[in-house]
């Protein structure tokens, strides 16, 4: 089975030796390294993260930062703090499946906002804001999961203007921002643009090291306005006291003894190479009515098939051919477009991608011929 489904980074790019050395340095500091830690997270690591954010135009007070067990926990903590049953939450449509699961678990009323290749459609957002503001707007404006799209700077500024007008918070999920194939072309984060406007902060920002270091370290972080940050700390105390302190210390050692930026550049280059291979392989197929946009970063490519194709039904045929993908159904908060699917290009090497597309073609071509 070839899986083009999961959002997995490439194991062969993991900094194994450097990470092993980082853990060894932590253990050499003594038994206190294995003691309980701060709920807010290992302070030296928060300082390093703040410095890295500052290099990208994001200024943060470490007291407003909380280290989490991946950015997934950050989304859950924000939901715990802000959502009461029935509260409206606005999301892109489609959007990150696991975020939808969290919001549903907290009994939110999820309102889908239509999107195009530039981001949320602002007219649709304004109409929904006028009908009743939400607790927050959840967005992944940089290499979104599942579509891989990047919001334009104009759309980002328009979103912030509307949310300030209606006094609404934005939850910016940014797990893929470092995997930009052209860093210079990347717009500033919402968090950075919001700070440039001055006044009260309207953006809660979360990111993770899962895509650039290793997922198993499970280290993410969230930055929020002071009142929200304090509430997030209390919620995390109730949830797990603190995330793994040994992992946080090892990550700090890695970031201070290892050229993480050179490593990220290597990851970017390899993922760009794999994306271009997948893009080329798809273009070589004699498929009619199949559309996609070439990603400029991240880990995913989003396919739109002819309207009569149901990718959930097609998956059964694909699996019989020995290839898996993620049907697009579950990424929609509104009416699902059943003719969509997500492909991952980061985890598979060139030969695997070639065979995977060959198998996908065998599954898909008969269905396309029906039209």
Eight-state DSSP code of residue 189: P
User: Is the domain of 185 the same as that of 51?
Assistant: yes
pLDDT in tens, 247-286: 999 999 999 999 999 999 999 999 999 999 999 999 999 9
pLDDT in tens, 61-112: 999 999 999 999 999 999 999 999 999 999 999 999 999 999 999 999 999 9
User: Is the domain of 301 the same as that of 225?
Assistant: no
d(CA 81, CA 169): 13
User: Is the domain of 146 the same as that of 26?
Assistant: yes
The CATH code of the domain that includes 167 is 3.40.640.10
The CATH code of the domain that includes 364 is 3.90.1150.10
User: Is the domain of 188 the same as that of 337?
Assistant: no
User: Is the domain of 30 the same as that of 7?
Assistant: no
d(CA 352, CA 298): 19
Beta bridge partners of 344: 300
How confident is the model at residue 371, as a pLDDT?
A: 63
Beta bridge partners of 65: 223
How confident is the model at residue 272, as a pLDDT?
A: 98
How confident is the model at residue 369, as a pLDDT?
A: 85
User: Is the domain of 307 the same as that of 188?
Assistant: no
pLDDT in tens, 186-207: 999 999 999 999 999 999 999 9
In total, how many domains does the chain have? Answer: 2
Find tokens 């893929």 and name the residue.
Answer: 176
User: Is the domain of 94 the same as that of 212?
Assistant: yes
How confident is the model at residue 338, as a pLDDT?
A: 95
Picking from 227, 257, 287, the residue at the C-terminal end of a domain is: 257
The answer to whether 132 and 125 have CB atoms below 8 angstroms apart is: no
Determine what percent of the chain is predicted with pLDDT higher than 70. Answer: 100
Beta bridge partners of 170: 137, 203
User: Is the domain of 143 the same as that of 265?
Assistant: no
Residue 59's Cβ-side half-sphere holds a number of Cα atoms within 13 Å equal to: 7
User: Is the domain of 7 the same as that of 29?
Assistant: no
Q: DSSP 3-state assignment of 56?
A: coil
Q: Cis ω on the peptide bond leading into residue 94 (within 30° of 0)?
A: yes
User: Is the domain of 7 the same as that of 84?
Assistant: no
Q: Which of 180, 192, 204, 103 is nearest to 156 (CA)?
A: 192
d(CA 23, CA 257): 12
Picking from 257, 277, 307, the residue at the C-terminal end of a domain is: 257
Whether the per-residue pLDDT at 370 is higher than 90: the answer is no
Task: Copy the structure tokens of residue 219.
Answer: 């280290």
Mode of pairing for the β-strands spanning 109-116 and 88-93: parallel
User: Is the domain of 301 the same as that of 200?
Assistant: no
Q: Which strands form 169-173's sheet, in the order they lie side by side? A: 65-69, 219-223, 203-208, 169-173, 136-139, 88-93, 109-116, 119-120
The answer to whether 124 and 113 have CB atoms below 8 angstroms apart is: yes
Residue by residue, DSSP assigns 331-368 as: G-SSS--TTEEEEE-SSS-HHHHHHHHHHHHHHHHHHH
Picking from 200, 225, 257, the residue at the C-terminal end of a domain is: 257
d(CA 144, CA 41): 27
Element (H, E) at 141: none
Which alpha helices (DSSP H) does the chain contain, by range? 16-28, 43-54, 70-82, 97-105, 122-131, 153-165, 190-197, 226-240, 245-257, 260-283, 311-321, 350-369
Find tokens 């470490």 and name the residue.
Answer: 62
pLDDT in tens, 112-161: 999 999 999 999 999 999 999 999 999 999 999 999 999 999 999 999 99
Whether the per-residue pLDDT at 33 is higher than 80: the answer is yes
User: Is the domain of 235 the same as that of 326?
Assistant: no
d(CA 9, CA 215): 8
Find tokens 């489904």 and name the residue.
Answer: 5
d(CA 111, CA 333): 7
Domain containing 55 equals: 14-257
The answer to whether 363 and 317 have CB atoms below 8 angstroms apart is: yes
Instruction: Work out the mean pLDDT of the chain and round it to a whole number.
Output: 97
């Amino acid at each position: 089975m070839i899986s083009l489904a999961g959002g997995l980074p490439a194991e062969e790019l993991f900094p194994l030796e450097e990470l092993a050395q980082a853990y060894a340095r932590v253990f050499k500091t003594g038994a206190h390294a294995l003691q309980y830690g701060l709920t807010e997270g290992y302070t030296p690591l928060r300082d390093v993260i703040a410095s890295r954010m500052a290099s990208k135009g994001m200024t943060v007070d470490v007291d407003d930062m909380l280290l989490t067990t991946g950015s997934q926990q950050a989304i859950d903590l924000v939901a715990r703090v802000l959502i009461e049953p029935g509260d409206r939450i606005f999301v892109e449509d489609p959007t990150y499946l696991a975020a939808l699961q969290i919001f549903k678990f907290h009994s939110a009323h999820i309102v889908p906002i239509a999107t195009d290749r530039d981001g949320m459609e602002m007219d649709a957002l304004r109409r929904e804001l006028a009908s009743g503001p939400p607790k927050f707007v959840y967005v992944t404006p940089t290499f979104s999961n599942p579509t891989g799209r990047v919001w334009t700077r104009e759309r980002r500024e328009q979103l912030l203007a509307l949310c300030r007008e209606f006094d609404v918070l934005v939850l910016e999920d940014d797990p893929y921002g470092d995997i930009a194939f052209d860093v210079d072309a990347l717009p500033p984060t919402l968090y950075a643009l919001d700070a440039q406007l001055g006044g009260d902060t309207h953006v809660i920002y979360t990111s993770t090291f899962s895509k650039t270091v290793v997922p198993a370290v499970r280290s993410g972080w969230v930055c929020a306005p002071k009142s929200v940050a304090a509430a997030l700390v209390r919620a995390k105390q109730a949830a797990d006291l603190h995330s793994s302190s040994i992992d946080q210390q090892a990550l700090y050692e890695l970031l201070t003894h290892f050229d993480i930026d050179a490593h990220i550049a290597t990851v970017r280059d390899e993922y760009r190479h794999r994306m271009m291979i997948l893009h080329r392989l798809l273009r070589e197929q004699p498929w009619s009515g199949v559309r996609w946009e070439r990603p400029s970063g991240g880990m995913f490519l989003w396919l739109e098939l002819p309207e009569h194709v149901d990718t959930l039904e097609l998956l059964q045929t694909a699996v019989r051919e020995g290839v898996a993908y993620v049907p697009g159904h579950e990424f929609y908060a509104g009416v699902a477009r059943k003719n969509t699917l997500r492909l991952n290009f980061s985890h598979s090497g060139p030969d695997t991608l070639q065979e995977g597309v060959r198998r996908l073609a065998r599954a898909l071509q008969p269905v396309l011929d029906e039209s």
